[in-house]
Structure 1
Amino acid sequence: MAFSLAGLVFCSGLCFSSAFLSSRRYRNPVPLFPSVDEHWFDQKLDHFNGAESRVWKQRFFINDTFYDGGPVFLMIGGEGPANPAWMVSGTWLRYAEKLKALCLLLEHRFYGKSHPTEDMRTANLQYLSSKQALADLAHFQTVMTQKLKLSHSKWVAFGGSYPGSLATWYRLKYPHLIYAAVATSAPVYALINFTEYLEVVQTSLADYNSECPKAVKSASDTLVMMLKKKENYVKITEDFKLCEILQINSEMDSAYFLETLAGNFMDVVQYNNDNRAFEGVKGTNITIQVLCEIMADVSLGTPYDRYAAVAHLMMDALEMKCMDTSYKKYVQEMTSATWEGPAAVGGRQWVYQTCTEFGFFQSTDSTNQPFSGFSLSYFVQQCTDIYGPEFNFTRIVNAVGQTNEMYGGFNIQSSRIVFSNGCVDPWHALGIIKDLSEELPAVYIKGTAHCANMYPARADDPPQLAAARLYILSLLEKWIN
């Protein structure tokens, strides 16, 4: 069944790989060219100020291939460009085929091509929040229901990671609009000092090889000691293929360098053995097994040498000639407020949301993890350095508390939401991994990582992942029918 979108502006154009799933570090996306048209929706700038009349163009995608009077599936965009690859692949489309659903994907305000303001000055970022994003969904659904004559259709929200949280909160705050939600790898509890993230990284590495995190810790501790002497900077620069001679003039410089190297392990663990290649993501063949085999290979030298070997492997996989570890340059990029800026793909926006809503700062303030050198104060200082002195510790603590007051944290009172998480994924520590009630079931998938059940199925998927997908489908069939 095809729809007429008369009155909605649409065009075909260049589309980019999405940072659709929350990630620690933003990299330039890979262009993708699926044959999916862009559409544009007149969205309100501020849903909570009746005197504000400004509107802007919000991007969305539509797939009506399977639609024959079934439900409406609404995929929620997240902290990066909405990737049209999701309109041609992904588990939700298999559900749509079974249930004859219409599929819509709405890009999150301030990400991708959805630009509510002329730039991203800090004053304009006041309109970037989960609260505004949920209201965007509600207004979009209300207008599209009328325009496409969907008043008798049940709407189901889908999201992974931060968008999974949004899917949860959309069902929670707008139950009169959204009938059910599938929340994958959703961190529903805001937490300023997310030490559990690196603790899960250690557990996930140790589950493959108990010596692996020990070698990582040895290498990290060695680097901390080496950074105390300037005569080591040239060697470190050469060993890790840095883009310029290492300069450590402050604790922020040291912490940024150490966090960047730790990020090689954090990113691989978070997305271990995923099936993201369809999104245009590079380096999906690098797994925990690959990293731990390097860290256990004594023929490569000391743990420090093996740590450098991992850095080289990751640079090759990501097609990087060198590693940029300059905190000063990072701050300069993050403070650029133009839509063409180096951090406009999502970095400036997402860090703003962490500083004003969620925290989620993945520090080394726990002894049960293998890295060193980037404490909570390092992340708080970033908020101040990038957005201004008023973004201080007290403000962040208050903001995180308000987020949990608004949404309930782990104490979710709702129905028809299914939560799925992988045990390898560090984000499961802030998610729902046990049934809250019969109508708030949880799926905790052994051996899988971030948003694994959302990706296209493949022949070598573990049986527990295939079973999780089928279970979620059975819930949707029961709820909708």
Structure 2
Amino acid sequence: MRCLLIITLLFIQSADYFVYSRRLLFGRPIDKHGFLGLPRTTLKQSEIESIAKEQWFEQKLDHFDPTNLLTWKQRYFINDDMFNRSNTNSPIFLQLGGEGEASAVWLKEGQIATNYGPHYQALQILLEHRYYGQSRPTQDMSTENLKYLTSEQALQDAANFIEFINEKYGLNKHKWIVFGGSYSGSLAAWFRMKYPHLVAGAIASSAPVQAVLDFEDYLKVVDESLGKKCVREIKSATDDLTELIKSKNNWPVIEKKFKLCTPFNGTNSLDVSNFFGNLAGNFEGVVQYNKDNRAFEGGSSITIDDLCSVMTDLNSNINSTDRLAKVNQILLKSQSQECLEFKYDDYVKKMLVVDFDKTEVPSARQWVYQTCTEFGFYQTSDRNDQPFGHYFPLDFFIKQCIDIYGSEFNKNFLEKSIQFTNNFYGGYNLTVSNVMFINGLIDPWHALGILEDLNPTAKALVMKKTAHCADMYPDSSEDPSELKSTRNVIKQMIGKFIQ
């Protein structure tokens, strides 16, 4: 699981996974674990499984059609090492899975397992989200089958699961707290809102609660995090590269500089859009996960400072385009990738694979489907004052929905779907109690989160120097003081929720 949600270069956590052109796809790293990357661990897989072996629960396929009696097996993990069953004050902590495969390592290395769980002698459970990982409600990911992939279905999955666990283990007197980061952070907040009789509270980390079609403010936050000097040099490089592309004679040079996997054709507008989106993604991905617990996310330790030091090194005797290419090379090397893929048709072809076991981009088809039917979240280049050019506007993202899922997934459909999502959950104006919203101002996703207290029990905690979901990872000696204090506040708030 990885804390959320660009269309930019893939963050690959293992060389075993196929690398397409983007490290982020609509803001989520394209590996099998999604936005909330796994905590680092020295444990072997067998040791992880001994902590919390995978278990399976008989789940309904369609919670909202009583005539549909089909069921499927949903995966979950339990760690009861610290649980004091005889003490009804010992709570149950449920970590909701998001847009990626769940892993028992969270029940050993995550902040819940190392901090909150031991403190409260809690039973810890991780529930995998339908259609991700091994929780497969249907035989494949055809567009027809993906109609059962919605946040509403996922919330009801969790509700059914809680009732199942309470009955199976006789835990009706113990209180539940739900946790989540990024998309699953939104789920945690929404779950408390929709099912307050089942859980006493929720911790929602980096949770984007407002669905939006054109998330142009994503790049606004990226720019603010990079700083004016760095942004100025990125814009200069983008402008120079734009001029180079106009001449066919420069295409082989661009191919070589940016280590492209295939020949560059400047007349293919979709490939050009992907190419510039990739270059923007080099910066977007680093900003989204800057510094805090990078080692725990399974990614590189590259920071904003590293990239901007390259872009602003005016004494290096290389021009701005070469500096932009150098940044790209750094990112490729950090992920052990030899070249950068950017062909739009290749991307669509791989996204059309509906077999769970044959896809080369685990979880990507599912997550993009959710953006096309519920959330939008398209990090476009539509802002006039951003430095990455205007090559990936809203229409570019809508075209992907149509090319991958069908002509009915057009702009009108997306607008109505997003309107429904905000009406159903409330967007920024959700009405909820006993929820803690945690955000970092470096994280671009904070622009869609709750940054001020909604009421005395729905509190917002904003950290100036942290990025996406940093509070969910294990402690580090390099953690900013505000991150440390935030974890203490979370621990205290959990105590208030279960009183």
TM-score by length of 1: 0.93
Conserved 8 A contact 2:311-2:324: yes
2:108 to 76, 88, 94: 88
In 2: Cα distance, 1:258 partner to 1:349 partner: 24
> What code does the residue aligned with 1:176 have?
H
In 2: Cα distance, 1:167 partner to 1:216 partner: 37
Residues 219-234 of structure 1: pairs in structure 2 closer than 5 A: 219-234=237-252
In 2: Cα distance, 1:139 partner to 1:320 partner: 43
Shift of 1:79: 0.8
Q: Which residue number corresponds to residue 304 of structure 1?
A: 321
Q: Which residue number corresponds to residue 268 of structure 2?
A: 250
2:288 to 270, 276, 280: 270
Q: Which residue number corresponds to residue 114 of structure 1?
A: 135
Q: Which residue number corresponds to residue 288 of structure 1?
A: 304
Change (3 A) 1:157 1:80: same
In 1: Cα distance, 2:313 partner to 2:305 partner: 12
What secondary structure, in the 3-state scheme, does the structure 2 residue paired with 1:39 have? strand
Q: Which residue number corresponds to residue 48 of structure 2?
A: 35
Change (3 A) 1:330 1:19: farther
2:258 to 235, 240, 252: 240
1:362 to 379, 389, 393: 379
In 1: Cα distance, 2:473 partner to 2:317 partner: 35
Conserved 8 A contact 1:424-1:449: yes
CA deviations on 1:113-140 (whole Å, 9 max, x unpaired) are: 1111111001000010101110110111
> What code does the residue aligned with 1:173 have?
K
What secondary structure, in the 3-state scheme, does the structure 1 residue paired with 2:427 have? coil
1:51 to 2:67 alignment: yes
What secondary structure, in the 3-state scheme, does the structure 1 residue paired with 2:383 have? coil
Shift of 1:227: 2.6
1:135 to 2:156 alignment: yes
2:364 to 327, 330, 347: 347
What secondary structure, in the 3-state scheme, does the structure 2 residue paired with 1:158 have? strand
Q: Which residue number corresponds to residue 3 of structure 1?
A: none
Which stretch shows the higher mean deviation, 247-256 or 397-406? 247-256
Change (3 A) 1:295 1:26: closer
Shift of 1:239: 0.4
1:326 to 318, 326, 343: 343
> What code does the residue aligned with 2:309 have?
E
What secondary structure, in the 3-state scheme, does the structure 2 residue paired with 1:226 have? helix
CA deviations on 1:320-359 (whole Å, 9 max, x unpaired) are: 1111111110000001111123355111111100000000
Q: Which residue number corresponds to residue 148 of structure 1?
A: 169
> What code does the residue aligned with 1:333 have?
K
1:440 to 452, 458, 469: 458
Identity %: 45
In 2: Cα distance, 1:121 partner to 1:269 partner: 34
What secondary structure, in the 3-state scheme, does the structure 1 residue paired with 2:72 have? strand
Change (3 A) 1:48 1:261: same
Conserved 8 A contact 2:3-2:469: no
Shift of 1:28: 4.6
Shift of 1:21: 3.4
What secondary structure, in the 3-state scheme, does the structure 1 residue paired with 2:436 have? strand
Q: Which residue number corresponds to residue 9 of structure 1?
A: none
Which stretch shows the higher mean deviation, 242-251 or 466-475? 242-251
What is the count of residue pairs matched by the alignment?
459
CA deviations on 1:84-134 (whole Å, 9 max, x unpaired) are: 221111211210111111110011111111111111001000010101110
What secondary structure, in the 3-state scheme, does the structure 2 residue paired with 1:336 have? coil
Q: Which residue number corresponds to residue 65 of structure 1?
A: 81
Conserved 8 A contact 1:26-1:346: no
Structure 1 residue runs of 5 or longer lacking an equivalent are 1-17
> What code does the residue aligned with 1:71 have?
P
Conserved 8 A contact 2:149-2:370: yes
Q: Which residue number corresponds to residue 219 of structure 2?
A: 198
Conserved 8 A contact 1:28-1:345: no
In 2: Cα distance, 1:45 partner to 1:225 partner: 53
Conserved 8 A contact 2:6-2:281: no
Conserved 8 A contact 1:20-1:81: no
In 2: Cα distance, 1:332 partner to 1:261 partner: 22
Change (3 A) 1:26 1:133: farther
CA deviations on 1:250-285 (whole Å, 9 max, x unpaired) are: 322211111111111100000001314345x131x1
CA deviations on 1:148-169 (whole Å, 9 max, x unpaired) are: 1110011111000000000011
In 2: Cα distance, 1:405 partner to 1:376 partner: 22
What secondary structure, in the 3-state scheme, does the structure 2 residue paired with 1:419 have? strand
Conserved 8 A contact 1:79-1:108: yes
TM-score by length of 2: 0.89
Which stretch shows the higher mean deviation, 290-299 or 192-201? 290-299
In 1: Cα distance, 2:453 partner to 2:360 partner: 38
Q: Which residue number corresponds to residue 313 of structure 1?
A: 330
Shift of 1:55: 1.1
Shift of 1:431: 0.1
What secondary structure, in the 3-state scheme, does the structure 2 residue paired with 1:61 have? strand
Q: Which residue number corresponds to residue 118 of structure 2?
A: 97
Residues 416-455 of structure 1: pairs in structure 2 closer than 5 A: 416-455=434-473
What secondary structure, in the 3-state scheme, does the structure 2 residue paired with 1:178 have? coil
Conserved 8 A contact 1:164-1:186: yes
> What code does the residue aligned with 1:83 have?
S
Shift of 1:20: 5.1
Conserved 8 A contact 1:202-1:368: no
What secondary structure, in the 3-state scheme, does the structure 2 residue paired with 1:235 have? helix
Which stretch shows the higher mean deviation, 132-141 or 335-344? 335-344
Shift of 1:317: 0.6
Q: Which residue number corresponds to residue 179 of structure 1?
A: 200
Conserved 8 A contact 2:292-2:479: no
Structure 2 residue runs of 5 or longer lacking an equivalent are 17-43
Shift of 1:368: 2.8
Shift of 1:229: 2.8
In 1: Cα distance, 2:397 partner to 2:266 partner: 17
In 1: Cα distance, 2:491 partner to 2:386 partner: 36
Shift of 1:27: 4.6
Tell me which of the two structures has the higher relative contact order, counting C-alpha pairs closer than 8 angstroms and 6 or more residues apart: 2
In 1: Cα distance, 2:404 partner to 2:238 partner: 27
Conserved 8 A contact 1:19-1:346: no
Q: Which residue number corresponds to residue 466 of structure 1?
A: 484
